[in-house]
Amino acid sequence: MATNDAGIEVPADSDAFDPSGDMRDMAASMIPRVVIPVANETARDALTPSAGWLVNRLDTGNLERYDGTAWTAFGSAYRPPVTLVTSLTAGYEASFGFAPSARVWPNEKVELQGGIKKTSGTMSGVQSIAVLPAAAWPTQIQEFTAAISSTSPTAVVRLEITTAGEVKAFMGSLTSAWISLDGISFYKS
């Protein structure tokens, strides 16, 4: 076997033909160069590691390295966002085929997605249309523009999110069948 520029063992032209052995050797030389996601400590301890292995503990978000005898945490890794379904105010339902939701990232960035429509009729004036899950509540009132269905050339309205997570639409003189939450994001604090 030869070692390439990345430090991975690869078959050399002069090696005997051994596909299974070559694959094993290549995989073994790559393990110290990849991060293995594990659900928790139990899943990590079920591995048979060699010195240099790296794992991303999904339960803690920590990167851990095996030194040949023990695992040691040494940094933070990617933590997936938590997606929470938004509660709709009575008289409203999901638009576009899926429930409106709030995605909360570990850095407290909140991203909204989905659409909301009235179960009958159109929206006008000031409407309380939904309440975000508590984990997505901002510490200050947030204001945005949101796309709506309208024949007006300015098919946007003001959307406000209160510190109690209430989502209000300020329609002005416009009427709309639906409001889109797509593209709205803010930091909780």
Give the CATH number for residue 113. Answer: 2.60.40.2460
Q: In what order do the strands lie in the sheet with 92-95?
A: 92-95, 115-118, 178-180
Domain that holds residue 124: 82-187
- Do 31 and 104 reside in the same domain of the chain? no
Asked if 185 and 112 count as a contact pair (C-beta separation under 8 A), the reply is yes
DSSP label at 12?
Answer: -
- Do 126 and 179 reside in the same domain of the chain? yes
Residues 6+ apart with CB under 8 A from 132: 84, 86, 102, 110, 112, 161, 165, 166, 167
Q: Which of these three, 48, 76, 104, is where a domain ends?
A: 76
pLDDT at 76: 59
- Do 42 and 113 reside in the same domain of the chain? no
pTM here is 0.58
CA–CA dist 165, 174 (Å, integer)? 24
pLDDT at 79: 59
Q: Which of these three, 76, 104, 132, is where a domain ends?
A: 76
- Do 112 and 70 reside in the same domain of the chain? no
* Number of separate domains in the chain: 2
Q: Strand 62-66 vs strand 54-57: parallel, antiparallel, or unpaired? A: antiparallel
- Do 120 and 28 reside in the same domain of the chain? no
Asked if 6 and 22 count as a contact pair (C-beta separation under 8 A), the reply is no
Q: What is the mean pLDDT of each run of 10 residues along the chain (189 residues)?
A: 71 82 77 81 92 84 87 70 78 83 84 89 87 92 90 80 94 84 92
Asked if 22 and 13 count as a contact pair (C-beta separation under 8 A), the reply is no
pLDDT at 139: 96
pLDDT at 144: 95
